[in-house]
């Protein structure tokens, strides 16, 4: 994808800072990997972030390499493009916009939802309206889940997480939390709500891609295919097949590969935030 000169002030690069922010470790590696799979690209991961903790890990401070600095600059650019596009969409719909913060870290750091670990993958914390990303995740996405990783893979992932911030601003995440805390719904019913929630974030990522490209002309050949590859890689059916050899649709929390591709592309083809009511489409 093409780079722009856009940069954001709501960006915090904690890589190389040392200490891991009091990172919590423990639980077995298998448990941690499963948690990362289940909650990848999720909403509020605090329950997993705060569980299985038995100690802390310290890392030494270090200077970031030129390559790492370039990666930080790229993520900062994507963040700025999300801010600009969503500010315009909200303004066009007479809604007040508030930008999210983005934190890059390595190994671990503190978040408003508890101690963040790299094994969790990228996530959005509604408590502090911040997206947390350890960039080592993307090598895992390619090697373990079969995604074709490129620059627009990062754009898709950040766009999805920013989609959760949009849901937070619009009150969607709050309503889902109320449903969960009410105790009136079974696990399978809440799983269906979670799927609708995640697919809407994919839709918002597609809307962002469409509207940003219309304004900035950032897309190059192959970019949308990279997003589709990432969406397919993190489909629940693909993850379950790789992890356990079979698929249990009732346990889906993020949607199938086909659904994730479908809703990202619907956002991209329409570019219209009003077309993304996944809850009405999936929970009838």
Residue 265 banded pLDDT, cuts 50, 70, 90: very high
Query: Nearest Cα to 166, choosing from 195, 209, 208?
Result: 208
Write the pLDDT tens digit of every residue in 60-79: 788 888 989 999 999 999 99
Q: What is the pLDDT of residue 52?
A: 41
Residue 44 banded pLDDT, cuts 50, 70, 90: very low
Is 70 exceeded by the pLDDT of residue 54? no
Q: What is the pLDDT of residue 165?
A: 98
Q: What is the pLDDT of residue 142?
A: 85
Q: What is the pLDDT of residue 145?
A: 83
CA distance 258 to 222: 19
- How many Cα atoms within 13 Å fall on the side-chain side of residue 249? 4
Query: What is the pTM (predicted TM-score) of this model?
Result: 0.86
User: Could you identify the residue written with the tokens 């007040």?
Assistant: 96
Is 80 exceeded by the pLDDT of residue 171? yes
User: Could you identify the residue written with the tokens 């000169």?
Assistant: 5
CA distance 16 to 65: 10
Q: Read off the pLDDT of each residue in 93-115 and give the average, rounded to a whole number.
A: 95
């Amino acid at each position: 994808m093409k780079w722009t000169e856009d940069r954001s002030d709501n960006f915090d690069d904690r890589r190389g800072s040392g200490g891991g922010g009091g990172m919590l470790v423990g639980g077995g590696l298998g448990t941690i990997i499963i948690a990362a799979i289940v909650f990848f690209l999720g909403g509020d991961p605090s329950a997993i972030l705060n569980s299985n903790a038995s100690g802390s890990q310290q890392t030494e401070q270090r200077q970031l390499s030129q390559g790492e600095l370039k990666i930080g600059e790229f993520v900062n650019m994507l963040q700025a493009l999300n801010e600009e596009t969503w500010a315009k969409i909200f303004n066009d719909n007479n809604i007040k916009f508030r930008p999210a913060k983005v934190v890059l870290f390595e190994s671990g750091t503190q978040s408003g939802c508890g101690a963040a670990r790299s094994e969790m993958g990228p996530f959005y914390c509604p408590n502090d309206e911040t997206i947390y990303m350890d960039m080592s995740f993307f090598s895992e996405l390619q090697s373990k889940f079969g995604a074709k990783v490129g620059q627009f893979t990062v754009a898709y992932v950040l766009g999805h997480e920013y989609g959760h911030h949009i849901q937070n601003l619009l009150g969607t995440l709050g309503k889902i939390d109320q449903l969960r805390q009410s105790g009136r719904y079974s696990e399978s019913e809440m799983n269906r709500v979670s799927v609708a929630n995640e697919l809407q974030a994919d839709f918002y990522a597609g809307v962002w891609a469409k509207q940003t490209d219309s304004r900035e002309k950032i897309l190059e050949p192959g970019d949308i295919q990279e997003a589709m590859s990432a969406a397919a890689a993190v489909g629940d059916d693909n993850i379950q097949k790789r992890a356990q050899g079979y698929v249990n649709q009732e346990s889906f929390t993020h949607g199938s590969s086909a659904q994730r591709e479908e809703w990202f592309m619907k956002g991209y083809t329409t570019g219209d935030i009003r077309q993304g009511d996944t809850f009405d489409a999936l929970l009838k």
